Structure 1
Amino acid sequence: MSLPTQARVVIIGGGIVGCSVAYHLAKLGWTDTVLLERKKLTSGTTWHAAGLVRSSLYTQNLTKLAKYTVDLYTTLEQETGQATGFVQPGSLSIATNAERWEELRRGASMLHGFDVIAEEIGPKEVQQKWPLLNVDDVIGAIWYPKDGKCNPADTTMALARGARMKGVKIFEDTNVTRVIVENGVAVGVETDQGVIRAEKVVNCAGMWARAVGEEIGVNIPLQACEHFYIVTEAMEGMTADLPVLRDMDACAYYKEDAGKLLLGAFEPQAKPWAVNGIPADFCFDELPEDFEHFAPILEGAMHRVPSLEKIGIRKFFNGPESFTADQRYCLGEAPEVKNFFVAAGFNSIGIQSGGGAGMALAHWITEGEPPFDLWDVDIRRFMPHQSRKSFLVPRVSEALGLLYAMHWPYRQFETSREVRLTPFYDRWKELGACFGEVAGWERPNWYAPKGVEPVYQYSYQKQNWFDYCAAECRNTRENVSLFDLSTFSKFLLTGPDAEKELQRISTADVSQTGRAAYTQWLNKRGGIEADLTVTKLDAARFMITTAAATATRDLHYLKSNMTPGARVQIEDITTQFGTLGVMGPNSRNLLQRLTDADLSNEGFPFGAARRIVIGSAEALAVRISYVGELGWELYLSADYARGVLDAVLAAGADLGVKPAGMHAMDALRLEKGYRHWGHDIGTDDTPVEAGLAFICSFKKDFTGRDVVEKQKAAGTPTKRLVQFKLTDPDVLLYHNEPIYLDGRITGFVTSANYGHTIGAAIGMGYVTHPGGVTPELVASGKFEIEVAGKRVPAAASLKPFHDPTSARMKV
């Protein structure tokens, strides 16, 4: 079969993910697809994967993909005639200390909300399911009966056969030397066998994917690391029905392998491999043994499975797998190059994710959008610096080990820090800030008082900063607090057509000069693609302010949705400014001491945006607040920002001015019922369902208007975002906990924190009810939230728990 010169889709890479994308494209009727593999199918990472297949992951939509994979592997052999080795003996995760047991139980509760079976069992039942196990120190375990395992190479071959059966062409020993890009659009590939023009190009090149993207300016932050396992000699009692076992406190997983034991590791400090490039002849290769590196894992395994001491090791395996900057894989259309799609960086869950990721990307390619919200793995979440070796190599060394480390609430990466600093960074550090990292930015999360080290002490209970955050919240509600908002992304849209374009894209009316409008950008289904503010500076200049984490995504959405030929220019101006949030009832008095501008409610009403002189600097002052109090955001030229901060601190000493961190901001916004994109609202949620229809201006047309208008006209929605407050003040919520209405699961918590003004844990979550989520239902229903296996009564409300009329913000 000769290489074609034209195809609808070209896929680079013949591992399980590339073959899955080809298979699913063919099922959707896109049979004019060509898959190119540089050596042989599975020869990179797939062939040596452990083959573990879980039916769940850490979010609802990734769990949908995991469940899809299980269902696919269940029927794939029958469909294609190719054996896959897929069986479902279940899996066990054991806990040997109270902290891990809390984590596992919370995780099991989360999965109940995702309709996944996850059962608590005791040490006796653990040993019944795994007779070779030493359970003397086991507190308990979670049993996942639907989990399984497969033969990775055979499963890949089954997907390849299924694709071929529908007409897909697969070429081995065909090396892609270049992706062809014309005018910012991928239009084909150049190979050592010839050129193929294509409508779409898909990068499924595994640990080569970063290099493939780098050649055309696409950011794919993944790096290969060494991954170890051993296979013993045949072992008595090692039967095929044994569940997969995870002992995460010992960094180990166990599975039966043809009567032998396979013991694998996710050690705390990983070993990056081939940081200067992968050898050109790499194919089914193994890396050198490193017994010293693996010895602590083996020692722990001998404690867990004592008979290991008497069994020989048949094989010590070391092979490379790719890991990303944040432990989640990369999926979707690259924002830098149109029609160039990526599915790579699977962090050792490529077999488990292969079916679902292939299905999702095939849908994305054919329909122009994913089948549901996949922001967790969307490639547009990354920043350019995350692909650079100086950042990526240390980060993946840490990230691999974190897969089995404690998944603490608020856990921060320790490597590759202080990459991006705001103009206020040094002053916050002097004032006791404990920093967290988002999109490379260092942001104060909380402040330690004098004499206290600003370092996290992690726990599932109230962490060491709990009381300090409470004080920051109180000060914001009673006096005045300063928030560093510099990390918020800011784009400048200019040109004769700027207003027309933004009016069409935005739900709110953004046409008033000198006003900041809170708005959403929607898709054609009415789903919320972005949540932001648009400030009209003058007739042809608009500033768009959005979250740090969504900078790449929102900029890509904006550019992609401009009318072809529109007379506009888009500029990222984030780093030009230091942005200081001055929030609290004393904010007006404080700022008035530093400016001659009229800051009265009449002279500077809520939502107004004006240039003022503050101290020795000029600032764009915007009267808006994400914490539910009177306040201003001050946009300051970066060179003047630090001086203004010092002036504000000095001028407000008698007014109680103090800095406050992101944890306090999150708690305060939840008390006020403010939504957070990526948690409370996303592409599968409409403004009506999210309680944000009041922002939509139906006097103009905007993307998704017809859907929102129909929902609004239909009356009470059957899905609605509701706020919750636990009745027990000592129980904490973190998000993803199931919500019960009258004894039945009706949703899960989308975001949560402790409401220090309220005196209890609070959160939001969507409630679904076939008769509509009416105020009467919310008021009279019996609501409970499941936390670590226990249901906790909760009060529910459609209105914010703090200042429901927004009177405090608008005085």
Structure 2
Amino acid sequence: MSQAVPENARVVIVGGGVSGCSVAYHLAKLGWRDIVLLERKQLTCGTTWHAAGLIGQLRASINMTRLAKYSADLYVKLEEETGVATGMRQCGSITVALTEARKEEIYRQASLARAFDVDVHEVGPEEVLKMYPHLNISDITAAVHLPLDGQCDPANIAMALAKGARMHGAQVIEGVKVTAVTSADGRVTGVDWQRGEETGSIAADLVVNCGGMWGRDLAAQSGVTLPLHACEHFYIVTEAIKDLPRLPVLRVPDECAYYKEDAGKMLLGAFEPVAKPWGMNGISEDFCFDQLPEDFDHFEPILEQAVNRLPLLGTAGIHTFFNGPESFTPDDSYYLGEAPEIKGYWVAAGYNSIGIVSSGGAGFALAQWMNDGEPPFDLWDVDIRRAQPFQKNRHYLRERVSETLGLLYADHFPYRQKATARGIRRSPIHEQLKAHGAVFGEVAGWERANWFADEGQKREYEYSWKRQNWFGNQKREHMAVREAAGLFDMTSFGKIRVEGRDALPFLQKLCANEMNVEPGRIVYTQMLNRRGGIESDLTVTRLSETAFLLIVPGFTLQRDLAWLRRHLGDEFVVITDVTAAESVLCLMGPNARNVLQAVSPNDFSNDAHPFGMAREIEIGMGLARAHRVTYVGELGWELYITSDQAAHIFETLMQAGADHGLKLCGLHTLDSCRIEKGFRHFGHDITDEDHVLEAGLGFAVKPGKGEFIGREAVLAKREQGLSRRLVQFQLKDPEPLLFHNEVVVRDGEIVSIITSGNYGHHLGGAIGLGYVPSKGESAEEVLASTYEIEIAGVRHSAIASLKPLYDPGSLRVRM
């Protein structure tokens, strides 16, 4: 007899793969009751059952590593708790490099692992051979060994989680398909379901979409953006190989391959450079433990290299040639969190072939987030709010995921740009920038000029861990900003109007700085959470008594809109995304005033237009709103122009600027200038986990104005003192480069990582920002230490400063 489906629940979890089972398990462990998990067919029947089950602990950030380590620890304990064998064994892993570029990458990863307290060892080819007999090591340049990595049985992991959930009171029901998530007044009300001819509904406060490759279409029914698409994923399993010892997991990313020994057989899997998207026309209703058709021609190049790498494969029979679908996302990171479109609609999906190692930690983090109303730590890497609405487009997804599968094992060079699904969001002056030599990068779908090629120079990236082919171009652009003038197209800024009778008290509640300023005044501020962490870093311009314009990074626009709407109560306020309505040209540098004066009758003196003010001006035959602010540390204006006039005003500025040394500049230069000045970058230097005072932004916080979100945490931190400080570093040697995630060493001990880095062309060396633990220490004591930055295992002496190394008195912005 079928298990009865309840009519009410606190939360309904959709999908019985490892992700859904993990969410159910962790919510139940927190003491939640009335948890219902619905699986359309059978547990694990979509992707989980055929996963390779690799458990690699090291990820690209401390918190993603924290979640992966949590998964590994959980899977070790689950068997004892539930009695279900998980197959978890910590056999270790080895990653080998075949090129100098890959050697640099894996050595950087090894340094990072030490900073994250992950056991790691750099090993030579001969040591690899001892751990991995029969391996061809003739062209291996380097390797790293992580002894606590492992492998497991994916299906049994999910079954153990499901049993654990049941043991703590959750209902796990198979054979029930969720046909719709219902909602009213912008909030989830439950789900509709079907089992054969039987239909029904469950009233619920919360729903979690763990639908894997079905998740996108289910979300789309509710207007929720969940950009993922299935791809075909291939591996082979050999016949039993006589006397095959237990081996670590082996990764050879330069050959797109991974190897796993299991019960005397070898599994060879691939992340080929050009993948095969699948399921373009939907997924069959009866899909359950299905395999996809073999495509040996597609897999053959990987196998040929594998036989050379591990010659014993040449004589081993193939037991299984497997092809199954897995979900991939546009940026190779999964989605976690509450969807911004509907309150109570949560997501845990899109795992990019690392679902087993991710799901234990992801289920833990999501359960804590749902329970506490805020994430347990910074999860921006996987936050659903980073998804852009246009990314639900299936043509876009099909194009992009054909690339992102292969990027898992591609060289992870700094500044690497996606090659597929480009050109979707463009500035009105895109073609003019292209004509001037722009080389574009993409962020949130926006095509942005990253650097400008010289005449005759190849207009493309040549990637490297050293100085890339645009390094000289960046230097010339950078020095133009410092010595003359630079023009940036920043149309990709997110622009939000907040207006209405209660706009001022609403923003006073959300923003840490004083919002009650005269019209025309620009306020730099943060929106904080109750811990004092930074949810948004923005400028707010008061346009009138009842209207404000918020300027945020383009990448965080959806996050910021969601934060504003989440905290809108009974106030009479309208929140509108006006990003596409205006273009933004940033004119920066000591000659910026001269350029403007040449094209406008307005007065740009300090008295007429002081720093931090916005007003309408004339330019050429058009109009713009000029905001006197800077992100590069120089005199300058951001010019907000209706999209229809952008081309005219751009041409007018370029013509006049020729007499004043004006140079077109890209985003790489914006970043190198801002880091010389020590300006913070949201998502790297400041996150929702970083206290605003420890980030050095106390000047933008005004507790005396009255209540606002985070005020108590600010007052408490002022009373307790800082536990750490954000420090600016400059390498003494002018040759090495900093990007992010390099290791900060204080008096010989690893203490943290570089949160962001770039080259300071004016200062003459690589610059980085990073937090230094400083509990009970004064600023003088922090700076009295000796600092080094470890890059790929090599330590470099660094200068440390708590004041900006460039123009510490900020005199240049007020010239």
1:796 aligns with 2:797: no
Partner residue in 2 for 1:66: 68
What's the CA shift for 1:775? 2.2
Deviations 1:209-243 (A, max 9, x none): 00110000000000000000000011134223x10
What's the CA shift for 1:714? 3.2
1:782 aligns with 2:786: yes
1:176 aligns with 2:178: yes
Matches within 5 A, 1:538-577: 538-562=544-568, 564-577=569-582
Output the CA distance in 1 between the equivalents of 2:151 and 2:437. 49
Matches within 5 A, 1:93-492: 93-192=95-194, 193-240=199-246, 242-492=247-497
Partner residue in 2 for 1:529: 535
TM value normalised by structure 1: 0.99
1:805 aligns with 2:809: yes
Query: Residue 516 of structure 1: which of 518, 522, 526 is its match?
Result: 522
Please state whether the residue corresponding to 1:159 is helix, strand or coil.
helix
- For the 8 Å contact 2:478–2:761, the answer to whether it is kept is yes
Please state whether the residue corresponding to 1:736 is helix, strand or coil.
coil
Segment of structure 1 superposing worse, 190-199 or 36-45: 190-199
**In structure 2, what residue type is equivalent to 1:703?**
I
1:602 aligns with 2:607: yes
What's the CA shift for 1:31? 2.6
Please state whether the residue corresponding to 1:261 is helix, strand or coil.
strand
**In structure 1, what residue type is equivalent to 2:433?**
W
- For the 8 Å contact 1:45–1:321, the answer to whether it is kept is yes
- For the 8 Å contact 2:14–2:39, the answer to whether it is kept is yes
Deviations 1:610-636 (A, max 9, x none): 111111111110000000000000000
Output the CA distance in 2 between the equivalents of 1:296 and 1:370. 43
Please state whether the residue corresponding to 2:555 is helix, strand or coil.
coil
Runs of at least 5 residues in structure 1 that lack an aligned partner in the other structure: none
1:710 aligns with 2:716: yes
Number of residue-to-residue matches in the alignment? 807
**In structure 1, what residue type is equivalent to 2:429?**
F
Deviations 1:522-554 (A, max 9, x none): 001111000000000110110000000001000
Partner residue in 2 for 1:683: 688
Segment of structure 1 superposing worse, 737-746 or 631-640: 737-746
**In structure 2, what residue type is equivalent to 1:548?**
G
Output the CA distance in 2 between the equivalents of 1:379 and 1:478. 42
What's the CA shift for 1:308? 1.0
Output the CA distance in 2 between the equivalents of 1:756 and 1:248. 34
- For the 8 Å contact 1:510–1:535, the answer to whether it is kept is no
Partner residue in 2 for 1:771: 776
Output the CA distance in 2 between the equivalents of 1:183 and 1:487. 31
Please state whether the residue corresponding to 1:689 is helix, strand or coil.
coil
Please state whether the residue corresponding to 2:81 is helix, strand or coil.
helix
Please state whether the residue corresponding to 2:460 is helix, strand or coil.
coil
Partner residue in 2 for 1:582: 587
Output the CA distance in 1 between the equivalents of 2:391 and 2:124. 42
Please state whether the residue corresponding to 2:395 is helix, strand or coil.
helix
Deviations 1:35-54 (A, max 9, x none): 00000000000000000011
Percent identity among equivalent residues? 53
What's the CA shift for 1:596? 1.7
What's the CA shift for 1:602? 1.1
Output the CA distance in 1 between the equivalents of 2:38 and 2:26. 16
Output the CA distance in 2 between the equivalents of 1:2 and 1:511. 57
1:19 aligns with 2:24: no
Output the CA distance in 2 between the equivalents of 1:479 and 1:463. 25
Output the CA distance in 2 between the equivalents of 1:45 and 1:785. 42
Output the CA distance in 1 between the equivalents of 2:785 and 2:174. 60
- For the 8 Å contact 2:774–2:782, the answer to whether it is kept is no
What's the CA shift for 1:594? 1.4
Query: Residue 648 of structure 2: which of 643, 651, 655 is its match?
Result: 643
Please state whether the residue corresponding to 1:400 is helix, strand or coil.
helix
Deviations 1:701-752 (A, max 9, x none): 211011112212334x121100000111111111011111111111110000
- For the 8 Å contact 1:232–1:260, the answer to whether it is kept is yes
Output the CA distance in 2 between the equivalents of 1:267 and 1:297. 8
What's the CA shift for 1:480? 0.5
- For the 8 Å contact 2:97–2:140, the answer to whether it is kept is yes
Task: Give the CA RMSD over aligned residues.
Answer: 0.8
Matches within 5 A, 1:30-69: 30-69=32-71
Deviations 1:415-468 (A, max 9, x none): 011101101111110110000000110000000111112100000000000010
Output the CA distance in 2 between the equivalents of 1:578 and 1:140. 48
Please state whether the residue corresponding to 1:550 is helix, strand or coil.
helix
Output the CA distance in 2 between the equivalents of 1:146 and 1:265. 23
**In structure 1, what residue type is equivalent to 2:75?**
Y
Please state whether the residue corresponding to 2:516 is helix, strand or coil.
coil
Output the CA distance in 2 between the equivalents of 1:236 and 1:753. 52
Query: Residue 732 of structure 1: which of 714, 717, 737 is its match?
Result: 737
What's the CA shift for 1:94? 0.3
Partner residue in 2 for 1:653: 658
- For the 8 Å contact 1:778–1:798, the answer to whether it is kept is no
Please state whether the residue corresponding to 1:56 is helix, strand or coil.
coil
Please state whether the residue corresponding to 2:615 is helix, strand or coil.
strand
Please state whether the residue corresponding to 1:405 is helix, strand or coil.
coil
Runs of at least 5 residues in structure 2 that lack an aligned partner in the other structure: none
Please state whether the residue corresponding to 1:688 is helix, strand or coil.
coil
Output the CA distance in 1 between the equivalents of 2:515 and 2:448. 30
**In structure 2, what residue type is equivalent to 1:180?**
T
What's the CA shift for 1:699? 2.3
Please state whether the residue corresponding to 2:469 is helix, strand or coil.
coil
Please state whether the residue corresponding to 1:136 is helix, strand or coil.
coil
Please state whether the residue corresponding to 1:458 is helix, strand or coil.
coil
Output the CA distance in 1 between the equivalents of 2:189 and 2:788. 53
Output the CA distance in 1 between the equivalents of 2:509 and 2:167. 45
Partner residue in 1 for 2:633: 628
Please state whether the residue corresponding to 2:814 is helix, strand or coil.
coil
Please state whether the residue corresponding to 1:593 is helix, strand or coil.
helix
- For the 8 Å contact 1:497–1:567, the answer to whether it is kept is yes
